[in-house]
Structure 1
């Protein structure tokens, strides 16, 4: 897929107005979003979180506005937010930014807000500051509002995820350069991290290299364990691109020689589970049905107790975001929803395996954003 062009910007003011509409429909009077991926999504400002308040305020009536420290106001103008025409209220070091936010929002609403939704990852310092400035308001999480928008990617966002996925695929294609007998997981991970940056990412989010028994811990990451001949190794890697969109892909390798018959047997089950779950993706199917498609295959083969996590998670400006592909989530899939499909089998004290692709629900089915072999790849020792 081509990268988005100037004719298809990632951020427009429509996102802010869409958030206002969703919030108003939910009965929320004021949406307050502080630094993090929600702020970057809504207005393009990738602010860093600190004790000084930066917040996008979206009242259900009247125009939205940004409250920022005066010393950082030029950074807003230099960001994509600077081109949106948002009003920027800059506050000085001796001002009370919470009072400024509360007074401005109350003025635009015509009365103090009764319900205020704050970003899920808002610092307690800031959430309590908002609550103190609006003593009559009930605070709630903003995720029901913002997640509703972020879950469904635009074509431009899908293009960004596809580019990130292609870059991480190129790293997996080079795994034989680094994953060898006698090297530590940490050394292998350092080489992978350098390659993630070399292949076009601007940040490394994680490098999981779980060799032998460490592969049975899904989020093991790295250690000084030395890779041994015959090890099965789980490699789960991802990073962020310049536009903030993430990659996340897992492949499992055997180092030095092919594994024994039992591993070959249950790995084939894992492959079938991943295929079945991916094939289940289409509009109207629920998130929990996609999870069940993988889980049922593994359970029927007798390995169900060793599949110990959900089948997937949404991805975008965060590696983990809605929708979550897990039992109990009856959310119907829609075209544009992007998420991982990553069943795993983990045998404590022995080894583990996982196969993970990022997929996108389309109008008539599914598109995978990762390529490369999903077989258990045998690398030279």
Structure 2
């Protein structure tokens, strides 16, 4: 069964008369069309009963057809009202579900065009489908993991004292493409004290001998599925003894989390088992973020591996396990792997060395 038919069934079950999905990961998931989020409206109209229609600007019809969309395509011209076109396709719907990332201007325009319909968020509905990857999706994530692993295995070519984070990052970005990704989504090269900022990207700081360096990288493959992996490097010299102590704790925490994660356990329990190890070693206040996030056609999606999320994991759920320790002004470290729940266990999709790599 196609993904859009599954979404259609869920909409009917939840009392939603039609789903309205604009460009983004949900649209790509449901149609296969990678539409650019431009000023001209593109919108999937998916009724709970009946056939879907993809509304696109006339000048983008060929792009939509070339993507292999298997549904009716309705076009609108430069002087047409695309929201009126959507309203005509929705008909007498009284509840319409909007994708979570729809632009506010379009939410208001659709509200004016379909004044008799209540608007509800449909993101959680689509996530019910996206959160469980099928065999084809798992293979796509597996290939993404292999591709980003190949980049990490080449970091020694570029990371050395005397170069800036930005210079190293530019080389890594080129390699992400060379190793099979379609786009570069992010490159973090956090050297020395910059590693203590989990979302540090690149700066003009010159890497020094003895610096620990956090390298967190990811991209999107031609399949539409994402990679994300973090490894830690030592740029020569002698590291801070406290860093080595913290890193050993971090390795143990992630090892235990990988052993614990499997179908039948809760998302929050994975966070808890690793956080307890880090806290018992005296670094609890330095682990400032959740343990992980789901991954698929977006780098961050459900399920989130965090305290308070009592979701029971199931086969096909894919997510990161990435505990970290961050000593402000001194150093940071994070070890990240993408994993997927199998029928009775866990497959780890990143398999480069997790220990500190001395260059």
Q: TM-score, normalised by structure 1?
A: 0.92
Shift of 1:257: 2.9
The offset of 1:281, in angstroms, is: 1.4
Displacement of 1:87 after TM fit? Answer: 1.3
In structure 2, how many angstroms separate the alpha carbons of the residues matched to 1:98 and 1:374?
51
1:168-224: CA deviation from partner (whole Å, max 9, x where unpaired): 111111111111011100000011111111111121111100000000000100000
In the alignment, the residues of structure 2 paired with residue 285 and residue 212 of structure 1 have an alpha-carbon distance, to the nearest angstrom, of: 36
Match of 1:251 in 2: 231
2:85 aligned with 1:100: yes
Residue equivalent to 1:290 = 270
SS in structure 2 at match of 1:16: helix
Q: How many residues align?
A: 359
Secondary structure of residue in 2 paired with 1:194:
helix
Whether the aligned pair in 1 keeps the contact of 2:43 and 2:56 (CA below 8 Å) is yes
Residue 2 of structure 2: SS of its match in structure 1?
A: helix
1:67 matched residue in structure 2: 55
Whole-Å separation in 2 of the counterparts to 1:32 and 1:221: 35
Deviation (angstroms), 1:350: 0.1
CA distance in 2, matches of 1:193, 1:315: 20
The 5 Å alignment of 1:75-86 reads 75-81=63-69, 84=70, 86=71
Structure 1, unaligned stretches of length 5 or more?
1-12, 107-111
Is 1:36 aligned to 2:21, yes or no?
Answer: no
Q: How far apart, CA to CA, are the structure 1 residues paired with 2:47 and 2:180?
A: 38
The answer to whether the 8 Å contact 2:209/2:238 transfers is: no
2:72 matched to 1:87? yes
Distance 1:57 1:290 in 2: 38
Distance 2:309 2:93 in 1: 31
CA distance in 2 between partners of 1:71 and 1:299 (Å): 57
Alignment match, 1:161? 141
Alpha-carbon distance, 1:226 to partner: 0.5
CA drift of 1:258 comes to 4.4
| Root mean square deviation of aligned Cα | 1.2
CA offsets, 1:64-91, max 9 Å, x none?
111111121111111121xx2x111111
- One of 314, 320, 323 as aligned partner of 1:334: 314
Runs in 1 of length 4+ with deviation above 6 angstroms?
A: none
| Residue equivalent to 1:9 | none
